[in-house]
Amino acid sequence: MKRWISIILMMLLFFGTVPQPVDAASKLTVTPKTVTLMTGTSKVVKATASGVKKPVYVWQSLNPKVATVVNGKITGKAVGKTTVTVTVKGTKLKQNVAVTVTKRKYNATDLFKMANPSVALVEMLNDRGQVVSSGSGFVVNKGEVVTNFHVLQGEANVEAKVSFANGSFVRTKVIKRYDETLDLAVLDISRIATAPPVLKMNGTRVATGEKTYALGSPRGVSNTITEGMISNNSVVVDGLEYYQFNASTTYGNSGGPLLNIYGEVVGVVTWMFENSQNMNYAVPIRQLGLLDARQTALIEDVQIPTLPVPYGKGDTFEEEPNDEWLKSDILRYADGYIRGTTLNLDDVDVYVFNVEKRTALDFFGTYGDARLSPYFAYGIYDLNEEPIAFSEPFVSTNGNGVTYQTLQMTVNPGIYFLVVFPLDGLSRTAYVNKDYLIMHKFR
């Protein structure tokens, strides 16, 4: 008999404890039976067993990726639903708790604490290591920081210094992918010693009126946040879609993240209307997926030389080929003559100039061969290659009957093209290697 008792005790020790005596009225209750919480937050569920002496509660989450539970404390891990079970050890008593986890909503203070470690100050350096300009950026993947393409541009720029709030920084020359039209670029920061956290992104279209936060480094002052809302969730400019928002931004915010109340990036702060009350624009973050991974480059290889502002007096001599926008001859003088040649009827000559203030333009020109004078014209085009104005014929009143082409207008600050071209009307051979002269003044 003693031998059997020993065997039974050994089996109980191996398979578990001795079941507790439970009377028929035993009951297990949980409060509450349903729980809704946000990611990163916790709630405590209380379990009470009646009719059980010294009950031991066993908690379990059926999906720990959504929510975990320890001694009745349920913590949300990811958006979703799961069930938490509680049993009384050694009994058949069991209850379920339905758990729903939603996105966490942040106030400005908590959002800044969460997101700021991932936001970068992007300083552009020349070949002597001097800071030329600055903007903002943020971590989108491990070893990658997104910013605006225009932040990287500058004739002297060869390298970017990317710095974070914890004091870590890295210098990089590599652009992993970019799109000049979308004004987006991804910098390689894989060599940084301490990898900053990655911000979550949300490519779903935001709603007009939705609260937003802009983080970045306005005028080089890092670790800033401003609050606003989406003023218009679809503004199309030059064929590209933007979010308009009114959180205050200025120079240096370019490339920083625009976040929603859940701490997710919805856009990349890109540009603003000057002299307007917080009319700011962001590229929707979903556009980042359009960047071509094969489009890599060094920072120094994507620079466009800065155009000089026309100044002083001097002549511009045409240099072929200059029949394409990117091959334009530069007008460097505010007062002078343009001396060029049409090679044939199809030849088009393009000149480019840059003005930094509202400027009056005055052009007066003709062919050197008076017989061709009526078959010559030119026009002013904007940076988007759209025509603004064309020259008009003017017949001399001094008796020689020469036709001149004149154009007078005033333009706002910006880059413009002067396009010179023959007008059809003569035999094709009549236009071969014919010189023209255009007098111009910028005031």
pLDDT tens digits for 136-161?
A: 999 999 999 999 999 998 878 999 99
Asked if residues 417 and 380 have their Cβ atoms less than 8 Å apart, the reply is: yes
In a domain, 4, yes or no: no
Q: How many CB atoms lie within 10 A of CB 13?
A: 10
**Does 288 share its domain with 224?**
yes
In a domain, 62, yes or no: yes
Distance CA 117, CA 139 (A): 9
In a domain, 9, yes or no: no
Task: Note the pLDDT of residue 13.
Answer: 45
Three-state DSSP class for 62?
coil
In a domain, 15, yes or no: no
Q: What is the CATH number of the domain that holds 430?
A: 2.60.120.380
**Does 159 share its domain with 302?**
yes
pLDDT band at 18 (very low <50, low <70, confident <90, very high): very low
**Does 280 share its domain with 364?**
no
Q: What is the CATH number of the domain that holds 32?
A: 2.60.40.1080
Which range marks the domain in which residue 29 is found? Answer: 22-102
In a domain, 429, yes or no: yes
Last residue of a domain, one of 67, 102, 137: 102
H/E stretch holding 418 reads: strand 414-422
Last residue of a domain, one of 102, 118, 142: 102
**Does 198 share its domain with 248?**
yes
Distance CA 207, CA 234 (A): 9
In a domain, 311, yes or no: no
In a domain, 350, yes or no: yes
HSE of 194, CA atoms in CB hemisphere, 13 A: 10
Q: How many CB atoms lie within 10 A of CB 115?
A: 23
**Does 55 share its domain with 150?**
no
**Does 270 share its domain with 121?**
yes
Distance CA 118, CA 196 (A): 6
User: pTM of whole model > 0.85?
Assistant: no
**Does 294 share its domain with 155?**
yes
Give the total number of structural domains in the chain: 3
Give 3-state DSSP helix, strand, coil % of the chain, rounded to 5.
10, 45, 40
For tokens 């039976």, the residue is 33
**Does 259 share its domain with 382?**
no
Distances (CA, A) of 254 to 1, 69, 280, 305: 86, 43, 10, 21
Percent of the chain with pLDDT over 70: 93
**Does 432 share its domain with 359?**
yes
Terminal Cα-to-Cα distance of the chain (whole angstroms)? 119
Using the predicted structure, report yes or no on whether residue 14 has a pLDDT greater than 50.
Answer: no
Distances (CA, A) of 206 to 177, 238, 242, 321, 422: 25, 21, 11, 47, 51
**Does 211 share its domain with 118?**
yes
Using the predicted structure, report yes or no on whether residue 15 has a pLDDT greater than 70.
Answer: no
In a domain, 5, yes or no: no
